[in-house]
């Protein structure tokens, strides 16, 4: 018989969900209800979405046993390339979009090549990427902030990526939900998903069953990087500007979202929905702290604390589950 306790304990999202509810309560009370306003919810969801699109990709990669530290820089590089191609090089919006997405795709392919073919641990391979792509951001922008010329700001594609079709709610929220649904379906109900979990959980066993470990992980690398680039494009389409700091630190926030959402860094275990809630939780902390009047730099400290609490919570939850449900 399934009890509620058994059901809940098997959900990796439990910790992130409980944490989010507590924080929402805390900030609502702490700001005297202002935090609960519609305007704040719109802003919060938009920040969540950009981080979330990246984090959902990161989770797919972590589940398949690797991770990508270069996503923040890819986010930045794609964003500034999109803006610069349109504003400085006179490209149309659509070709600039395609080139920018291809850059993200290529970055993911390259990460995979270095990590999987040259067998450099993905921590090192993508740490290299973090610096390389950030350096390219400076090259592309020349160190300046670039912005979309006024006449292209109404372009349909830019509206699609960063405008609002539903009044006040940024379209990136729709993209985020769509991507979350798609990736979670892929992971749970497709052949690729089954193999992605297996190569993260136990690559030797997966290989012995005829799974192409390198190909499976490579696809995850490319997906992650492409999603990060896409999120970067959504970001600049909303703000109309691309700065050199675009996407800085987001690689760590995306990994933190995954871990808070129930991912094990050892691979094979994780939850896409948990990650989405994890991204929401981090964004909540950011906006909540600011609204409660705390200096913004406390954000990183808070993220660190929450991250450690989350890991301890998730670890003790699985230990408890093992004791209780060991067959």
Partner 1 sequence: MSLTNDYFVKMVGISKRFGAIHALRDVDFDVRPDEVVALVGDNGAGKSTLVRILSGVYAPTKGEIFFQEEKVNISSPAVAEKLGIEAVHQGFGLVDCMSISRNVFLGQEPTVRKGFFFRFLDLNKMNQESDRILQTIGARSQVNPKSEVGFLSGGEKQSIKIGRAVLFNAKLLILDEPTMALSVRERHNVLELVRDLKRQGVAVIFISHDIHVVYDICDRVVILEMGSKIGDFPKHEVSVDQIVKIVRREE
Does 327 help bind partner 1 (rule: CB under 8 A)?
A: yes
Does 117 help bind partner 1 (rule: CB under 8 A)?
A: no
Q: How far is the CB of 117 from partner 1 (least distance, A)?
A: 17
**Site map (CB under 8 A) of partner 1, residues 294-323, x = contact:** ----------------------------x-
Binding-site size for partner 1 (CB under 8 A) equals 24
Chain centre to alpha carbon of residue 174: 15
Query: Looking up tokens 């400076």, which residue turns up?
Result: 138
Closer to partner 1 by Cβ: residue 25 or 321 = 321
Contact window for partner 1 (CB under 8 A) among 137-145, 166-174, 196-204, 287-295? 196-204
Q: Which of 146, 155, 195, 238 binds partner 1 (CB under 8 A)?
A: 195
Does 190 help bind partner 1 (rule: CB under 8 A)?
A: yes
Q: Which of 198, 257, 287, 314 binds partner 1 (CB under 8 A)?
A: 198
Does 181 help bind partner 1 (rule: CB under 8 A)?
A: no
Question: Which of 167, 162, 169 is CA-nearest to residue 42?
Answer: 169
Does 3 help bind partner 1 (rule: CB under 8 A)?
A: no
Does 326 help bind partner 1 (rule: CB under 8 A)?
A: yes
Could you give the CA distance from residue 88 to residue 8 in angstroms, rounded to a whole number?
53
List the structure tokens of 89. Answer: 């090089």
Could you give the CA distance from residue 119 to residue 115 in angstroms, rounded to a whole number?
5
Could you give the CA distance from residue 82 to residue 229 in angstroms, rounded to a whole number?
10
Could you give the CA distance from residue 124 to residue 207 in angstroms, rounded to a whole number?
24
Does 204 help bind partner 1 (rule: CB under 8 A)?
A: yes
Angle in degrees, 0-180, between the axes of helices 298-325 and 272-291, rounded to the nearest 10: 140
Q: DSSP label at 146?
A: E
**Site map (CB under 8 A) of partner 1, residues 208-237, x = contact:** xxxx--------------------------
Closer to partner 1 by Cβ: residue 129 or 268 = 268
Q: How far is the CB of 182 from partner 1 (least distance, A)?
A: 11
Q: How many CA atoms lie within 13 A of 269 on its CB side?
A: 14
Phi, psi angle pair for 147, to nearest 5°: -135, 155
Q: How far is the CB of 270 from partner 1 (least distance, A)?
A: 10
> Which residues, numbered 239-278, are part of the site for partner 1 (CB under 8 A)?
268-269
Could you give the CA distance from residue 211 to residue 20 in angstroms, rounded to a whole number?
37
Q: How far is the CB of 178 from partner 1 (least distance, A)?
A: 15
Question: Which of 158, 134, 135 is CA-nearest to residue 85?
Answer: 158
Could you give the CA distance from residue 174 to residue 304 in angstroms, rounded to a whole number?
29
The residues that touch partner 1, with contacts defined as CB under 8 A, are: 189-191, 193-195, 197-198, 201-202, 204-211, 268-269, 322, 325-327
């Amino acid at each position: 018989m399934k009890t509620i306790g058994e059901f809940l304990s098997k959900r990796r999202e439990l910790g992130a969900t409980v944490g989010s509810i507590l924080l929402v309560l805390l900030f609502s009370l702490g700001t005297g209800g202002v935090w609960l306003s519609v305007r704040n919810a719109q802003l919060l969801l938009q920040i969540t979405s950009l981080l979330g699109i990246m984090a959902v990709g990161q989770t797919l990669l972590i589940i398949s046993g690797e991770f990508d530290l270069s996503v923040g820089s890819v986010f930045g590089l794609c964003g500034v390339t999109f803006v610069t191609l349109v504003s400085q090089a006179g490209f149309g919006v659509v070709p600039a979009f395609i080139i920018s997405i291809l850059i993200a795709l290529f970055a993911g392919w390259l990460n995979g090549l270095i990590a999987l073919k040259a067998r450099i641990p993905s921590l090192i391979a993508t740490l290299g990427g973090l610096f390389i792509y950030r350096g390219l951001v400076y090259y592309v922008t020349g160190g300046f902030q670039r912005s979309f010329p006024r006449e292209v700001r109404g372009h349909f594609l830019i509206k699609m990526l960063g405008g609002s079709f539903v009044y006040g709610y940024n379209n990136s929220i729709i993209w985020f939900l769509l991507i979350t649904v798609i990736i979670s379906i892929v992971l749970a109900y497709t052949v690729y998903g089954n193999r992605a979990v297996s190569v993260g959980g136990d690559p030797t066993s997966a290989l012995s069953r005829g799974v192409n470990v390198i190909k499976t992980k490579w696809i995850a690398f490319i997906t992650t990087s492409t999603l990060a680039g896409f999120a970067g494009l959504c970001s600049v389409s909303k703000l109309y500007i691309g700065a050199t700091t675009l996407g800085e630190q987001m690689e760590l926030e995306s990994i933190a979202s995954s871990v808070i959402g129930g991912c094990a860094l050892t691979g094979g275990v994780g939850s896409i929905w948990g990650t989405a809630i994890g991204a929401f939780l981090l964004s909540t902390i950011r906006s909540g702290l600011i609204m409660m009047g705390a200096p913004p730099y406390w954000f990183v400290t808070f993220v660190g604390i929450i991250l450690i609490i989350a890991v301890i919570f998730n670890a003790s939850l699985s230990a408890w589950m093992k004791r209780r449900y060991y067959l």
